[in-house]
Amino acid sequence: MAKGLRAITRYLLLLAVAALMVGPFLWMLSTSLMGREEIFQYPPRWIPDQVDLKNYRAIMEVLPLGKMLLNSFTIAVSATIGQLVSCTLAAYAFARMKFRGKNGIYFVLLATMIIPAQVTMIPVFLIMKSLGWIDTLYALIVPAFFGGAFGTFLLRQFFSAIPADLEDAARIDGCGKFRILWSIVLPLSKPALATLALFTFMTYWNDLLGPVIYLSSVEKATLTIGLANLQSGLMTTRYDLLMAGSVLSVLPILILLIFGQRWFVKGIAMTGLKE
């Protein structure tokens, strides 16, 4: 009896926490389907009188939504590919290769994670300006191809957990390091790669500061800039359009999470089990 009561209490607590997490998303979706008058009704209403997609049509007229979505998608996908390639190579070197100063270099790499982004903001901007990449997508994409401390750490921990016997057997068969990485390590590291891909895509898709710093023209603007303009001095805050745009912004992340949830959970659970 006591065991059943504890189980019921546990499930009720989980349902309450789930409601707190899902509630804002449901409110965002509901608000995106309401008119401007319904949004400020009191008491608040969760279900609109009439479901209408007029807010989604209106935001396409107010903003060049298609171009913004394309820019955001281009940046997020390209940066994700860059992080996967560069961090994979760096992580494999730190996990499996022996060279002088490896531990020191790895320590310095991890130490960069504690440096605030504001410290490097101006130097990086000057570098991009000298390259002529201001108001181009290159300023946001190319740095991702030079690795990252978090991605390298995540993959390095996962690579270290792979039994070395598999690589030794492949080496006896004549495989080189790149062949071992491609044929053995990467197939076994799909959960970690999926986790890094999801984190990277989310970071670049939701990034606002980077596009604000480097992009100035409407043709290069991302979705986050468009949503920020809906609540800035450029126009009166349109909460109905803002919620509609937020729904469109959340959809790609939600789809990725639904289809990659199994790999994502497995990658988080298994990373770092063995040093």
Digit-coded pLDDT (tens) for 164-222: 888 878 888 788 888 888 888 888 888 889 889 989 999 999 999 999 999 988 889 99
> Which has more pLDDT, 32 or 35?
32
The answer on pLDDT for 65 being more than 70 is: yes
Q: State whether 156 and 78 are in the same domain.
A: yes
Please report the pLDDT score of residue 45 as a whole number. Answer: 72
Please report the pLDDT score of residue 146 as a whole number. Answer: 92
Number of structural domains (the chain) is: 2
Task: Indicate the average pLDDT of the chain.
Answer: 84
Q: State whether 31 and 77 are in the same domain.
A: no
Q: Cis bond leading into 43, ω under 30°?
A: yes
pTM: 0.83
In the block, tokens 């898709």 appear at 205
Please report the pLDDT score of residue 274 as a whole number. Answer: 47
Domain interval for residue 14: 1-52
Confirm whether 275 is domain-assigned.
Answer: no
What percent of the chain is modeled with pLDDT above 70?
Answer: 92
pLDDT band at 252 (very low <50, low <70, confident <90, very high): confident
Please report the pLDDT score of residue 264 as a whole number. Answer: 64
* DSSP H helices in the chain: 2-32, 36-39, 54-62, 65-96, 102-111, 117-131, 138-141, 149-160, 164-172, 177-180, 186-188, 190-205, 209-214, 223-229, 239-270
Q: State whether 67 and 186 are in the same domain.
A: yes
Among the listed residues 86, 208, 80, the one whose alpha carbon sits nearest the alpha carbon of residue 146: 86
- Burial zone of 15 (CB within 10 Å; 0-12 exposed, 13-18 middle, 19+ buried): exposed
